Structure 1
Amino acid sequence: MYFERLAELDFAVSQKLNPDVADSLEYQQPKRKGRARYILAKKYFDVKEYSRCAHYTQECTDSVSVFLHYYSRYMAGEKTIVEDESDKSSETRLAHLKLLHHDLGRLRNTPKWDGYLCYLYGLVLRKMDLPHSLQVLQDSVNLNPLNWAAWLELANLIKNSEMLSQLKLPDCWMKFLFMGHILGELHLDEAALNLYEKLHQGVFEHSLYIKSQIAKIYYSLRDGIQAATKFSEIREEDPYCLDSMDVYSNVLYVQINQPELAQLAHQAFAVDKYRVETCCIVGNYYGLRGQHEKAVLYLQRALRLNPHYSYAWTIMGHENIEMKNSNAAIACYRKATEMNMRDFRAWYGLGQAYEILKMPLYSLYYYRMAQSLKPDDSRMLVALGDAYDKLERLHDAKKCYWKAHCVGDLECIALLRLAKTYDKLKETDHAAAAYCDYLRDSEKQGSGEGDEHHGQAYLYLASYYLSKGPQFLDLAREYAQKCVEYPTTLADGKALLREVVQRCQEENSRVNLTLP
C-alpha cells in the first residue's frame, strides 16, 4: 500500500513537471550472485509465507535482502498472533518483538544500518511501547524521507499539537504530506484542509490521494455535500479507484442516499470483491437497508482480510448497536480503539453502548474520551451533557449543553436539553429563554415542524407566562394555542387555554369592579 501511494504521488507530480526532468532516484538491487535467492524469497513474501522468506534470506548481506529478512520475521510473528486467538498472553505476543529488538539493536552503528532498518526498529519499539520509539522513527524519516510507512508510524505516536511542534523533520515535500495526515488525525480539520488545498493547487493537482484527503476532511467537518462532490470527482477521474471509497460509502450512509450507495457497492464489488474497502462499502449498503446481519457478515470478511483495520471494527460496532447486541458492540469498539486511539467514533460508540446498558459512569468516561478528541463537536458535548444529567450533575450538564450550542448545534438539540436542565434547577427564567431560542433556531433551520419537542416547548412557555401575572396572559394564550397543534400536547394545551380564558375573565371582572 505504501509503495502504491508513492507511485500515485510520483505520477501526479510527473503530470506537472517537464518530461525532460530525469528521476534522480536509483533503487539498489541485490548483486547478481544473490539475486536469484532474493527473487525466490520475495515470491515467498508475496504469497505470505513469511517464515520461508526469512529462512532464505538469513545469510544475505545486501541491504535489500537484509531488510526483507527482518521484515518477514516481523510479519511472521504478527501473522501468528492474528491466527492464534487462543493464546493472548502479553509474553507470547511480545516474544518475536523482543528477539527482533535484540537483533536489530546489534545492527545499529554498523554499515548495514539504513533508513529502512531504522524504520523497522522504530516499529518494533512502538509495538513494545518503549519510549525511544519516537526518536528512532524521527531518525528513520531523516535517513530516508521517501519511506511513507515510517511517516505513518511516526504519526501514530503523536498525541497532540505540542508533540508535533517539537519534531525534527527533514525539509522535503514528504513533510507536507505528513503534516496534512497528522493534522487530520488530530482533528485539526481547518488547518489540514488549508494545507491540502495548497498542495492540490500546486504540483499535486492530479493526485487522487490529495483529493481523497480533502474529501475526508470535509466529511470530518460534517460538510457531506462537499465530501460527496469530491469523492464523485475521484470516481469520474478513476472509476476503478477503491482507495477511501469506504469513507465515501459512510458519507452516503449518513445522507441516506441508498441509490448512490447501491451503485457504489455494485461497482466496487465488480472491481475487487476481496478488497477491505469493498467489504466495508457493501456492509454499509446492507446496514442502510436494515439488513444488519448481512452487514456484519461483510464487515467480518473485511477484518479477515485486514484485522488491523480500525474503521471496519467501528462500523461493525455500529451494526451491533442496531441489533441491540451491546456486548458485541463493546468488543468491536474496544478493538477499534486498540488499533486507533484517535478514532472518536469508537469512543463515542462505547459511550452509547454503556448508556444502553444503564452504566452511566462508564458512559461518562468514554464520552469524555470522544469529546477530548473532538472538543468542538456538538454531538460529543450533548452526549457528555446527557451522561452528566443521568448522574444528576446538573451544573456540569448545563455547561456542556451551553458549549454545544455555542460551537454550532446543527440538530438543535443542545438548547432543548439546556432548557430542561434549567427547569430541573428551578431556573425558570433561563429555561423560558432557552426554549424561546430553541424555537427560533429550529424555525430558521426549517426543522422540527410537527415535532413533539416543539409542543413541549410551547407548553412550558404557556405555563411560564401564565404564572408571571396578568400582564403576560396574551403571551400565555398565544403559546397555549400553539400547543393544540401537536397531538402530544393537545389535551394539556386545551386545559391551559381554559385556564387562560378564566384568568382573563377574572382580570376583566376585577378591572370592572375598580372602575367608578
Structure 2
Amino acid sequence: MTEDYFNYELRDVKMDLKRAIYECSQRGLYHSTKLAELNHSLSSVELEPSDIAKCQQPLEIDDEADTYLLAQSYFNLKEYDRCAYFTENCKSPRAKFLNRYSRYLSIEKKKVENRVDSITPPDPTLQAELQNLSVELRCDYSARQLDGFGLYLYSIVLKKLDLLKEACDVLVEATHKESSHWGAWLELTSLITDRAKLNSLTLPNTWIKHFFMAHAYLDLQLNDEALEIYGYLQNKGFKKSTYVQAQIAIAYHNKREVELAISTFSKLQKLDPYRLDNLDTYSNLLYVRELRLELAHLAHHVSQVDKYRVETCCVIGNYYSLRTEHQKAVLYFQRALKLNPQYTSAWTLMGHEYMEMKNTNAAILSYRQAIEVSRRDYRAWYGLGQTYEILKMYFYCLYYYKQAQFLRPNDSRMLIALGETYEKLEKKEDAIKCYYKAFSVGDSELTSTLKLAKKGKVSKKERNKKKTFPTFAVVHSQS
C-alpha cells in the first residue's frame, strides 16, 4: 500500500465528520452514530471555533421553521404519521426529506406490526403506499430536485421494491452529492455481489471511500484486503475507533482465527462496555469455543444494558443453545426477528436450532428467509445443504453446497461437504478435486488428507490403467 493511499488532512476529515453528524441528526438519520464514533476517535485533532461554525448550517428562519421543529419532535418520539402530516406542504429540503422519510418508516413499522408470522406476505395497502412514495421521489429525481439525502431515500425505496440495479445507480449518485453520509455507503455495500461489481463503480475520491472499500471487502469475504485497509487507517489516526476495532474482530472471525477474534472483542468491550453492536458475533465465537461461563456473563451483561435489542436476543439465544435448551433458544431468535425481520444472523441461527430439534421443515424455511434477506450469508446456504443431505436429496444438497463454496472459496469445510456429496452421487473425480482443493487451502482437521488417502486406495487399479493421475482443479461452478 503506497504512502499517498490516505493523503487527507485529519483536520479536514474531522470537519467533514462534524458537518455530516449535524446534517444527519437534522434529518433523523441514525447512521450518524458511526460517524460520531469516528469523530470521537479523532479527539486529539483540534479545530478552530470558526471551523466548527462552518460545520453547522443554521436552521432557516422562515415560515416553515416552527413547523419543522414540531415535526422533528414528533419524529424523535417515533410518531411518524404525525410528523408526515405536519410537513405535508413544506418546501424546504430538510422538512421535505423529514416528511418522506417519516412516511417510509411508518410503512416499515406497520409491516412489522401487522405481520402475523415470518412467512406471511406484507399488507398490499402498505405496498401500494410504498409505490406511491416511489412515484413521488421518481418525479423529483427526473426533475433533478433531489439532494444527496433525497437520493439516499429514493434508493432505499427502490431497494424495497426489488429494483436493485436502479437503486445501485442512485446510491452512487448519492455518494457523489453527499460523500460524508455513511448511510448511503452502507446501503451500497449490500448491493455489491462480487469484486468485479465493486471495481466497476465510479465513486468519489474521498476519505470515507476507504472505510467503504474495507467494509465491502469484509462483506465479500476478502478478509485480508479488509484487514490491510483497517490496519492502515489505524496508523493514520483512527487507532482509537471502536468501529474499526469491531470490523477487525469480524475479519478475524471470518478467517476462523478464533482466539484473535475473541481477544479483539474482549479489548473492545473494555473500551466501550455498553456497546452492543456485533456482540452477537462475539457470542458465536464463545459458543464455538464452548466457553459457557464467558457466554453466560455476556448474556447477563447485554440483558442489563438493553433487553430489546436484536444483538441481546441473539446472545441469549446462543447461551441457551450451548446449554442444549433449543426451544428457549428459538424463542429468543424469534424475539430478535420481531424487532428486526431483516436480521440475517437470527434467521440462520434459528435454522441451526431447528436442525438440532430435527425439525427439518422449519429449518429449511428459516434458512430460506436468511437467503431472502442476504444472498451472501454462506452459513444459510451451507445449512440448507446439510438439511437436504439429511433428507438424502443429494442433487438439492449439491446445489446449496456449491453456493456456499462460491461465497467461501477458500473454506475447507465447504469443499469437503461438496466432495462428500459428489461421492454420494458417484462422481469420484469431482470429489477428489474438492478434497485436493480443501487440502491446498489448509484443512486444519485433516479430513481432506484422510479422504484422499482412502480414494488413493480405491482408485489404484484405475490409475494403473490410465498411467496418469487425474488433473486437480478448483471447483467454482455455480448451478
What TM-score bracket applies, with the shorter chain setting the length?
0.7 to 0.9
Hey, what does 1:81 align to over in structure 2? 111
Q: 2:150 aligns with which of 107, 117, 125?
A: 117
Deviations 1:322-358 (A, max 9, x none): 1111111111111111111111111111111111222
Hey, what does 2:46 align to over in structure 1? 18
Q: How far 1:378 moved relative to its partner? A: 0.3
Q: 1:255 aligns with which of 289, 292, 317?
A: 289
Q: How far 1:30 moved relative to its partner? A: 5.1
Counterparts in 2 of 1:311 and 1:427: CA distance versus 1, 3 Å = farther
Q: 1:238 aligns with which of 269, 272, 286?
A: 272
Structure 1 length normalisation: TM-score? 0.79
Counterparts in 2 of 1:302 and 1:91: CA distance versus 1, 3 Å = closer
Structure 2 length normalisation: TM-score? 0.85
Hey, what does 1:444 align to over in structure 2? none
Q: 1:5 aligns with which of 34, 41, 50?
A: 34
Q: 1:29 aligns with which of 59, 63, 81?
A: 59
Counterparts in 2 of 1:287 and 1:351: CA distance versus 1, 3 Å = same
Q: Give, as a single letter, the amino acid of the residue that structure 2 aligns with 1:334.
A: R
Residue 375 in structure 1 maps to residue 375 in structure 2: no
Q: 2:97 aligns with which of 57, 64, 67?
A: 67
- 8 Å CA contact 1:29, 1:64 repeated in 2: no
Q: Give, as a single letter, the amino acid of the residue that structure 1 aligns with 2:219.
A: E
- 8 Å CA contact 1:276, 1:306 repeated in 2: yes
Residue 282 in structure 1 maps to residue 316 in structure 2: yes
Hey, what does 1:322 align to over in structure 2? 356
Q: How far 1:206 moved relative to its partner? A: 0.9
- 8 Å CA contact 1:397, 1:421 repeated in 2: no
Which sections of structure 1, spanning at least 5 residues, go unmatched?
431-516
Q: Which whole-Å CA distance do the structure 2 matches of 1:422 and 1:327 have between them?
A: 38
Instruction: State the structure with bigger RCO (CA 8 A, min sep 6), 1 or 2.
Output: 2
- 8 Å CA contact 1:330, 1:353 repeated in 2: yes
- 8 Å CA contact 2:97, 2:149 repeated in 1: yes
Residue 187 in structure 1 maps to residue 221 in structure 2: yes
Q: Which whole-Å CA distance do the structure 2 matches of 1:199 and 1:20 have between them?
A: 24
- 8 Å CA contact 2:111, 2:122 repeated in 1: no
Q: How far 1:423 moved relative to its partner? A: 4.2
Counterparts in 2 of 1:111 and 1:414: CA distance versus 1, 3 Å = closer
Q: 1:411 aligns with which of 429, 445, 449?
A: 445
- The root-mean-square deviation of aligned C-alpha atoms, in Å, is 2.1
Deviations 1:208-256 (A, max 9, x none): 0000000000010000111111111111111111111111111111111
Identity of matched residues, %: 46
- 8 Å CA contact 2:155, 2:168 repeated in 1: yes
Residue 108 in structure 1 maps to residue 141 in structure 2: yes
Q: How far 1:150 moved relative to its partner? A: 0.8
Q: Give, as a single letter, the amino acid of the residue that structure 2 aligns with 1:116.
A: F
Q: Which whole-Å CA distance do the structure 2 matches of 1:427 and 1:322 have between them?
A: 42
Hey, what does 2:467 align to over in structure 1? none
Residue 294 in structure 1 maps to residue 328 in structure 2: yes
Counterparts in 2 of 1:369 and 1:28: CA distance versus 1, 3 Å = farther
Q: Which whole-Å CA distance do the structure 1 matches of 2:123 and 2:460 have between them?
A: 53
3-state SS of the aligned residue for 1:81?
helix
Q: Which whole-Å CA distance do the structure 2 matches of 1:342 and 1:28 have between them?
A: 42
Q: Give, as a single letter, the amino acid of the residue that structure 2 aligns with 1:99.
A: N
Count of residue pairs brought into register by the alignment: 429
Q: How far 1:84 moved relative to its partner? A: 3.4
Q: How far 1:70 moved relative to its partner? A: 1.1
Hey, what does 1:98 align to over in structure 2? 131
Q: Give, as a single letter, the amino acid of the residue that structure 2 aligns with 1:350.
A: L
